[in-house]
Amino acid sequence: MGQNVQMQQDSTDIALFVKVSEGDVITWDKSRIVKSLLRETTIDEATAKLIADRVEKIIRDSGIEFITGPLIREIVNAELIKLKLEEQRKQYTRLGMPIYDVEQLITKQNKENANVPHGPEATNLSLAESIKKQYALLKVFSPDVALAHERGDIHLHDLGFIDRPYCSGNSIEYVKKFGLSLPNALSISKPAKHPEVLVLHLIKFSAALQGVFAGAIGWDAVNLFMAPYFVGKSDEELEQVAQMLVFEFAQQAVARGGQSIFSDLNLYWEVPKHFADVEAIGPEGKYTGNTYEDYLPEAQRFARALIKVYMQGDGMGRPFFFPKPQLHITERLFRTEGYEEFLYEIAQLSSERGNSYYVFDRGETAKISECCRLAFKLDENDLRDAKTPWKMRYSAMQNVTINLPRIAYEAKGNDDLLFEILSQRMQLAADAHVAKRGFITRLLNLGKRGPLGLLAMDKDGEPYYRLHRATFLMGMLGLNELVQYHLGEEMHESNYALRFGLKVIAHMSKESERLSEEYDMRFVLEQTPAESTAYRMAKLDLEHYPSETREVVKGSIERGEVYYTNSTYLNISAPISPIERVKKEGMFHPMIHAGSLTHIWLGEAKPDPEAIAKFVVRTFKHTTNDQIAFSPEFSSCLDCGRVDRGLW
């Protein structure tokens, strides 16, 4: 207890008594250098005194009148280097940013994340991320992993959020059952009696979750779990609640630099079989005596109300980017009355706005949260959780992406060497995940008063963050360019090239399974949804492997606008039909257990909704594709707010 109090006092002092210079506050005392070296490093006292003497002489001989703490630390570090005490130098280093870089962040927009607006909160986010990135590479990960990231062999996502898990799939049932009771909150709300209050609870809880996760906040079966609140409500009342839900999510610029809540709403027209016999929770967190199967009419009406809101757009007629509506399609859909009309409405939304995501749950699988593309196989543990659906809380703790084109450059056409290097990179990714798990576990163990107190709270016999159900994502980037450099053909250009790409992902899948058994962790492959990583790795490869990279990189080298093809996608500009793209890209999806996605780019076109609906059904029935989305192009006037299809 005494140690915890001392830690709090130290942290408070750090926050309250930051000084640019101590020269005008206290008299010079070299013993302070000795004390700080002994406190912060593993150096011995004699060496610390030697360094303090040298630093004092340098400062006195220099005639410097204005002495700052950072300057003293720089001189100490220089002396540590002279003594070849590299490990102690790392321990003593100061994290921070040059003044020039800080000014650039304050005055100019950071384009790394399009979801972050430019403003003081965004500046705070960028500054904090910079410090935490440095801390992560120095203190959390091993030197080998840190170097691999800095070189571009792998990419450690969300380093600036090192003290948070990646993303999460959540259940409204938790909010319905326990109300809104958050650690450190000044007030507590009982379970909601009315649907409008439930929406407010859901939004506030999502905002709180966004503060402790780095990625998306996904909510499962939203229309189904809200259905008990709509008994006896008119269609107009349901539409009002739907409007409130979408607008409140879309307009909450509350966390991570003032972003809107990065959110996904999973919808069903049918009742999926794992929820069919589950006893329903209704107003005030009380069981209704019915199962969710009994509330299918209300669930369907609310789903249609949500689609109507998405179709109308916001106050300027613009499409909603968040929350993303994700329609799940199972075999039960085609046995549920009215599905054709509902599919048409969803397809119309795809044609007009591009909001709809179609998630294919075939056999014994289900998926939640598009960002991390979490998936679970409905095994015995999942089915048990479904009977108490508030426990259906899933998370991907971290995403580590492997630079595949670089492996091809290093293999120089040798198949055996290529797969050997690929295995080595996956081992590095596993090492990174082990380090992240250890760090997050340490923070969770600090309990409700720790930095992850929200995730440590216990309302149902276990922490909100179910560490034992966490997955660890291994992403891939530039498979198309790996194949192109290794074979001389892109994946869409021949069946041989496509099969070799499949062979690479099959190897990664087997390695992830082997590593999962070795470390007793759930390593799964993921299609990396990170365009900035595609740019970063291409830029680094142009520096380290210029001649090789120039043969395959996409974009414009002259303008510095370069990238690799994302994950396992075919070249986006390849002249192939949508159905061929869906089929070929879908061949990779069964091996990518964190979920996968194919984009159908519409451009300015507005396909007939009936054609889109038929395309979706054909994709479900005749391919192995996990998920598709239709993506139109929009232009928005920054002055008047007008939005039109196509690029101006």
CA 151, 157, 162, 164: dihedral to nearest 10 degrees? -170
CA distance 360 to 356: 13
> Which range is least confidently modeled, 10-19, 418-427, 638-647?
10-19
Domain ranges of the chain: 20-94, 141-166+391-573, 168-371
So what's the pLDDT on residue 149? 96
So what's the pLDDT on residue 492? 98
Q: Which residue has the higher pLDDT, 209 or 370?
A: 209
The string of pLDDT tens digits covering residues 459-495 is: 999 999 999 999 999 999 999 999 999 999 999 999 9
Cβ–Cβ under 8 Å, residues 361 and 328? yes
Is a pLDDT exceeding 70 seen at residue 332? yes
pTM beyond 0.75, yes or no: yes
By the 10 Å C-beta count (0-12 exposed, 13-18 middle, 19+ buried), 547 is classed as exposed
What are the strands, taking DSSP E only, across 249-393? 253-255, 259-260, 263-268, 279-281, 287-291, 324-329, 357-360, 366-368, 374-376
Confidence of residue 23 (pLDDT cuts 50, 70, 90): very low
By the 10 Å C-beta count (0-12 exposed, 13-18 middle, 19+ buried), 396 is classed as buried
Alpha-carbon separation of residue 260 from 116, 274, 389, 502 (angstroms): 8, 32, 27, 37
CA distance 271 to 256: 35
Percent of the chain at pLDDT > 90 equals 69
So what's the pLDDT on residue 537? 97
pLDDT, averaged across the chain: 89
**What class has domain 141-166+391-573?**
alpha beta
Cβ–Cβ under 8 Å, residues 553 and 564? yes
Is a pLDDT exceeding 50 seen at residue 264? yes
CA 414, 420, 424, 427: dihedral to nearest 10 degrees? 140
